[in-house]
Structure 1
């Protein structure tokens, strides 16, 4: 997730260095290089055109970015946004060691109308105060601490970076951040999958991590056959089922598998597994080995549990008015 590139053996006046942090499909990079001119013509876009917004945050020196018939002159503390699927030109005037932070976020992650964002391409943003300042400090600090992060942090890093950039852009558009249930639902699912092994993962902790209310979290799951608690349970149980059927984990104790996926209480894990799949974890492991590698057995149980477990969990969540475990 973290990469460093340097040209120490090159003449100091021509050295290029970079620190790259890639949480999921979001990219953050700290670049250090002298004066340069760049151009991205149509021919290069035809070869590779990621549908993304690219932020160039000037920390030292000056830069000029031109796209969509506009030109942004950037001083230290300014940034501009480019569309990676359109031609652009840029020029940077700086001394050796001058830094520039780059952030690239897929357009699909930014819940703002693309038609409105076109007006913000190649426009200077000031990061010396307000939300822009929070965004800039987050980017620089994340890159300074890049080696401290682990793959488990990727979901949070990607979400926070996207949310802060969206807030800056929405403020310039003169509108509050729009309600985007589809985008938020993706981020919630992603976060839950990353945190399944944490036994303290609850709907309340998920809501806090995404700065939303429990009510909105419930609403995000309204179109599914389960509430947030049921979703977490089913994802954990599915990971356990997969490990129990995996020949490579044949010697791993059942209680270890349960603990790995957020069920530290062996008796509680066994009861939940049996109520979902119709067999205890140990029985399931033995039967899956006997049934032609487990493929037919797994498929039948998954079909059964998808119908019964989702409906039961959703009914329990609704009747109690809160998430239960």
Structure 2
């Protein structure tokens, strides 16, 4: 479902107490633990919008520490990445034995499936973009090297991503729901490019094992052939001159399966097509078949499990019928 909120504009009024803010943070993101040195005078607010598959939130608050702990992970463990862009103030993000010190304009990525901590020593404002992990098209081995690493907003692709994210709130507020969905997709593509760039910094590419290189080739091969109904584990393995078992073990090492990866990538292409006004008059079943889902009922069930609504409902929310789009008789 596409929901576009006007609450993402920077504001200072409407700040709430410590307990209310702590509850808002866990509701907006994932279960978290929070501490503050001054509960009595604490004020903060979370404002945001859900756009297609991503959640964009702006957090403004007094100093505090947020922790994603093993206990909160056990409480709820959805597969999400979060990107934190520092707008005002200072933050230290810790995950995977690394620390990223963020000043205004800097950003970093972190994984909600593993413990992390964000420490704010003064009043701050941060823009947080949260999205399913599988949507970031960076090899898993690469992501493992990128969590809690500062990306400067003053050089490279970071200098492109930072102003885009800063202005995204107002762009989404003023955009139609259809445009907002495509803005969300564009953000994910640009963020993926920025992190891919981080893997090829001045000292050269980070070391990559033969297994990592093969995994990257396989996933690229799958993405290029998503519309091929004959694409399966056997054809993928044969194309890379490896056994099916070898292929399966390679994905199992990342807690995934070949068929699961292929299904998610196809469903993501279906989601994009359903939100695209160019395909408004194409039957939902035809869009599913285009990406390998020949059985319409099966496609509808898979899509609802992945995105929370049926393909038809998702399209209706993403492309509202107006007088200008209503079919003529």
Partner of 1:171: 197
Q: Deviation per CA, 1:233-257, whole angstroms, max 9, x where unpaired?
A: xxxxx98xxx9xxxxxxxxxxxx99
Shift of 1:22: 0.8
Report the Cα offset of residue 10 of structure 1: 5.7
What is the 5 A alignment of 1:1-325? 1=3, 2=5, 4=7, 7-8=14-15, 14-95=42-123, 98-174=124-200, 179=220, 180-181=223-224, 182=226, 186=267, 188-196=269-277, 260=326, 264=328
CA distance in 2, matches of 1:121, 1:10: 31
8 A contact 2:90–2:103 mirrored in 1: yes
- Aligned to 2:158, the other structure's residue is in SS state helix
CA displacement, residues 122-169 of structure 1 (integer Å, 9 cap, x when unaligned):
111101133112212121111134432343334312211110111111
Question: Structure 2 CA distance, aligned partners of 1:107 and 1:136?
Answer: 20
Normalised to the residue count of structure 1, the TM-score between the two structures is 0.56
Residues 49 and 84, structure 1, Cα contact 8 Å, conserved in 2: yes
How many residue pairs align between the two structures?
215
2:80–2:113 contact (8 Å) kept in structure 1: yes
Distance 1:159 1:45 in 2: 27
Change (3 A) 1:164 1:53: same
Query: Once the 2 structures are TM-superposed, how far is the Cα of residue 93 of structure 1 from its aligned partner?
Result: 2.1
Higher relative contact order (CA 8 A, sep 6+): 2
The residue aligned with 1:276 is: none
> More displaced, 101-110 or 147-156?
147-156
Superimposed CA distance per residue, residues 243-274 of structure 1 (whole angstroms, 9 cap, x where no aligned partner)? 9xxxxxxxxxxxx99x735xx5x5xxxxxxxx
Q: 2:94 is paired with a residue of what secondary structure? A: strand
Assess, with a 3 A threshold, how the Cα gap between structure 1 residues 112 and 100 changes in structure 2: closer, same or farther: same
Give, in angstroms, the shift of residue 100 of structure 1. 0.8
Equivalent pair of 2:61/2:125 in contact (CA under 8 Å): yes
RMSD: 3.7
Measure, in 1, the Cα distance between the counterparts of 2:291 and 2:172.
37
TM-score of the two chains, using structure 2 as the length reference:
0.56
Shift of 1:112: 1.7
State which drifts further: 19-28 or 138-147: 138-147
Q: Using the alignment, how far apart are the partners of 1:70 and 1:3 within structure 2?
A: 35
Give the distance between the partners of 1:190 and 1:8, measured in 2 at CA.
Answer: 35
In the alignment, is the contact (CA less than 8 A) between 1:60 and 1:94 conserved in 2? no
**CA–CA distance in structure 2, aligned partners of residues 8 and 83 of structure 1:** 27
Larger proportion of helix? 1
Give how far 1:78 is off: 1.2
Q: Contact 1:54/1:103 (CA < 8 Å) preserved in 2? A: yes
Q: Quick one: distance in 1 between partners of 2:111 and 2:196?
A: 17
Q: State how far apart, in whole Å, the 1-side matches of 2:47 and 2:164 are.
A: 15
Q: Distance in 1 between matches of 2:131 and 2:280?
A: 31
